[in-house]
Amino acid sequence: MSTPVITLGVSLKMYFGYRQTLEWCQAIARQLSAHADVRSAAIEVFVIPSHPTLAPVLEIFDGLARVGAQNLFWEDQGAYTGEVSPLMLREMGCSVAEIGHAERRRYFSETDRQIADKTAAAWRNDLTPVLCLGEERHGRVQDAVQVCLQQLDAALASARQAGLSGELILAYEPQWAIGAAQPASAEYIGQVCQALRNAVAGSGTRVIYGGSAGPGLLSQLGGQVDGLFLGRFAHDPGAFQSILDEAAKLCGPTSAREMEGASWQSA
């Protein structure tokens, strides 16, 4: 299967309760099931809810979106009270895992070594890391790119040592933009993301942008990113629908909208 044209990811962090999570997921699933570009994989969606909701969320999005975890441990099993096994996540049906988010670094003191070990654990268990990269302070584009590449190199260290590799999604999230009223400027985001795409060219790695990303940003960025990693702006299903429709307009002439008659009428 070829790489999807546009990737849209959503992390629900710890904002929703159990029932609210399921209601949101059901609303989003209805949108995805009705969308031709999602059915054709011209647009790929992944959702990362809180851990206690993973089992029902996997059922809701079966065949519509990938589902993953907001965290995982670097060992597959053992006496690690309170941790989440990557082996169990894969057994449940998860296919992605968020790793290296700035909040994990800030609040839980996650180190480069721990992030590297988690990345290796994800690949070892056939999970796609959604690896978060980003500078702490707003500065020059070239400085941001350098920080991100250093973080990427550090995050891959354990996997390289173990001879592991796999699918990778890089989520560029400048730490100063997370939770801000506005994202970084489209010009700034585009330049950083394009530089990261150039650095991983040929590997199949996707580069998406997060950090106060919302409706309208994808159109501004054009082809400089492979998609968006959405947070609170996607909590409203209506806002998510507008971003989904925005992505569809950018899919180009090979989108499912032009192929739907041939592929779906014959199904």
pTM of the model as a whole: 0.91
Across the range 207-232, mean pLDDT stands at 91
Give the residue among 229, 227, 233 at the shortest CA–CA distance from 247. 227
Residue 258: which pLDDT band, with cuts at 50, 70 and 90? Answer: very low
What was the pLDDT predicted at 223?
A: 87
Residues designated catalytic: 101, 173
pLDDT of 45 above 60: yes
Across the range 202-214, mean pLDDT stands at 91
With 0-12 CB in 10 A as exposed, 13-18 as middle and 19+ as buried, what is 168? Answer: buried
**CATH of 6-264 given 3.40.630.10, 3.20.20.70, 3.30.1360.40, 1.20.1070.10:** 3.20.20.70
Structure-token pair, residue 44: 């790929």
Mind listing the pLDDT tens digit for each residue in 59-68? 999 999 999 9
